[in-house]
Structure 1
């Protein structure tokens, strides 16, 4: 479990980070929902980069799934549970990380909670979804 404490100015930092995502193109291993979005938000708010040991070690969905398996994780949910405490979606607050489960190679996609919505980064681009679309959430600090 990571020892995450939000910086005093985490909120303006987070919203500046989210605003910068509009121009980001999806790229596995560097600019994806974990390495760029979730880990980037966590680093912005806390100064700790949870993706540092994994960034650049995969280049597509298949190699991401294989890396998770090699590290002993069944998918993104399992990886996130090893880093942050899980919380019910209804208890998620701004800056927490949400998981939207699906049947892809890594078991879903991650997003950042920004209130009643989640910022997501998918292969088709950046957007938002309703928070209620998330299956679970993970507390950041």
Structure 2
């Protein structure tokens, strides 16, 4: 089981910093690779190694989920993490809003996206989350 390391906050900050202005790219810097990388930074374990290097397009992503996952991103995450109510998501937990993954971060979610012409990591207010689902990234252990 994956548990956050005692210095998870420092590890997560170091992971996020170089991604702030990195544009979205399927299979390299998309919602799945971003969330999996964050979990790896916090726990030392990559929760999605079977998907690394397996797709480069939206269609490829859907095919990879069917071939290597549980059919959908949501179902695949259910096999790897404990699902929790989105209202209970704490900083560092995984959140899905409108089908895209990000990290709970206080009153926001950090996700890969764009704001105007700027691409990279964006903050989405909890009030703007659409049909949110969340998964706990376990503390200590």
Q: TM-score, normalised by structure 2?
A: 0.86
User: SS where residue 120 of structure 1 aligns?
Assistant: strand
TM-score calculated relative to the size of structure 1: 0.86
3-state DSSP class of the match of 2:35?
helix
Could you say which structure has the higher strand fraction?
Answer: 2
In the alignment, what sits opposite 2:122?
127
Q: What runs of 5+ residues in structure 2 fail to find an aligned partner?
A: none
Uncovered stretches (5+) of structure 1, i.e. residues with no partner: 102-107
SS in 2 for 1:111: strand
Contact 1:89 1:131 in 2 (8 A): no
Aligned-residue Cα RMSD (Å) equals: 1.6
Are 1:57 and 2:54 counterparts? yes
**TM superposition shift of 1:72:** 5.4
Aligned to 1:115: 106
**How far has the Cα of 1:62 moved from its partner?**
0.7
User: Which of the residues 13, 16, 20 maps onto 2:14?
Assistant: 16
Report the CA distance shift for 1:71/1:51 in structure 2 as closer, same or farther (over 3 A).
closer
Which 4+ residue blocks in structure 1 deviate beyond 6 angstroms?
none
Q: How many residues align?
A: 132
Structure 2 counterpart SS, 1:63 = helix
